[in-house]
Amino acid sequence: MKFELAKTSGTLGLAALAAIASPYAMADDTGWYAGASVGQSKAKIDDARITGALLGAGSTATTITDDNRDTGYKLFGGYQFNRNFALEGGYFNLGTFGFDATTVPAGTLNGRIKVQGLNLDLVGILPLTEKFSVFGRAGLNYAEAKDTFTGTGAVNVLRPNPSKRDTNAKYGLGVQYDFSKTLAMRLEAERYRINDAVGNKGDIDLVSVGLVYRFGGETPAPAPRAMAPEPVAAAPAPEPVAVTPPPPPPPVVMPPVPKKVMLSADSLFDFDKSALRPAGKLELDRLAANLKGVDFEVITVTGHTDRIGSHVYNMDLSTRRAEAVKAYLVESAGIPASKIAARGTDGSDPVTKPGDCKGKMPLKALIACLQPDRRVEVEVSGTK
């Protein structure tokens, strides 16, 4: 899944904003501030790449429906050094995007990506009037992209839940109107460069409106000077007001990384069989005991065979073995069947390397050499 947007023209640089003279640039606007914005995020789904991936897997896409818009928001805080420059950081959530494709042979492929992270920007400000200003920003974003892929029918998804955390550039333009020294409103457009967790980089745009609150923005009026022929002692200066920095942005809660357990098929089943052995049930009981108290998102059970035998036979055997493990976990551990997905493979993902095991005939030496390839993988995603 690749997200990319068309290039925008006419970018106003931060240095240019600071260099342009303004009759309003003499005011003292230094200090801490915080705010929040919400708006629409938009991405472009790369349908051509999705079609190419399906063709490479032996399927043809008949229709692709894109979901490329969502609601995004951000929480931010910063420090304004002077009328023209500020340093700003915060948390952003760009929302969720995806696609739904139907294929021939009959099947479906569904993909979703959720993007959130932290950013740090240098902001250049150009006052146009006493209350109205324009600004530009450039900086870095540290984003997490979490993908979810599901397939039905002829579509087989090998990596259903890839994720990626990466640092990329971001920039934007906006306008701001100051209602008072402490409260202002922003309207801005930003572009975030994102790694989509499946080997591509693209852009996601966020157009948002928000409010900004300045801490200690109101300046106390000077004490009046008495009009008298004799000099009068000046009123004492007011006590300095401590500037309280804004609270830090809320922490980004990252989803747990899935844990994978690899079980030997020879310990679970007799050779070329799909009925669980007593020793295999004991091994699954130990696995179920370790899963107690886990709040499951999904458990994926994948059966693997060796390369001996035909594709149709291996797919049937590995699928029956995966279903047997699923059924036992549902019965013995009380895990809901809806939380467990079982599937088989045809020996296309071996553990042994090419050349490790010689021969093609199903002799004892070859069967023993290919033992690591005969396995059942249980991948658990959840929190404890």
In this predicted structure, the answer to whether residue 5 has a pLDDT above a threshold of 60 is no
Domains and CATH numbers, the chain: 14-214 (2.40.160.20), 259-383 (3.30.1330.60)
Mean pLDDT for the stretch of residues 193-222: 84
User: For residues 304 and 265, is the Cβ–Cβ distance under 8 A?
Assistant: yes
Q: For 222-256, what is each residue's pLDDT tens digit?
A: 555 656 556 666 666 667 666 677 777 766 554 55
User: 165: pLDDT confidence band, cut at 50, 70 and 90?
Assistant: very high
* Higher-scoring residue by pLDDT: 70, 377: 70
**What pLDDT score was predicted for residue 117?**
97
Short-list 24, 82, 31, CA closest to 218: 31
Mean pLDDT for the stretch of residues 217-222: 52
Distances (CA, A) of 191 to 99, 106, 139, 353, 378: 21, 38, 11, 44, 39
* Spatial separation of the C-alpha atoms in residues 330 and 337, rounded to whole Å: 6
Distances (CA, A) of 120 to 91, 143, 169, 342: 9, 12, 10, 43
**What pLDDT score was predicted for residue 240?**
66
Range in 52-56, 85-89, 108-112 the model is least confident about: 52-56
In this predicted structure, the answer to whether residue 220 has a pLDDT above a threshold of 60 is no
Mean pLDDT for the stretch of residues 359-382: 85
Burial of 191 (0-12, 13-18, 19+ CB in 10 A): middle
Give the DSSP letter of residue 337: G
Short-list 277, 254, 281, CA closest to 266: 277
User: 170: pLDDT confidence band, cut at 50, 70 and 90?
Assistant: very high
Mean pLDDT for the stretch of residues 274-301: 85
For tokens 């950013």, name the residue: 119
Q: For 24-61, what is each residue's pLDDT tens digit?
A: 433 456 899 999 999 999 998 888 888 888 787 888 88
Reduced 3-state DSSP string for 339-381: HEEEEECCCCCCCCCCCCCCCCCCCHHHHHHCHHHCEEEEEEE
In this predicted structure, the answer to whether residue 314 has a pLDDT above a threshold of 80 is yes
Q: Which amino acid is at 72?
A: G
User: 296: pLDDT confidence band, cut at 50, 70 and 90?
Assistant: confident
This prediction's pTM: 0.52
Mean pLDDT for the stretch of residues 134-161: 93
Task: State what percent of residues in the chain have pLDDT above 70.
Answer: 83
Q: Tell whether the torsion through CA atoms of 359, 301, 147 and 254 is positive or negative.
A: negative
DSSP SS3 for 115: strand
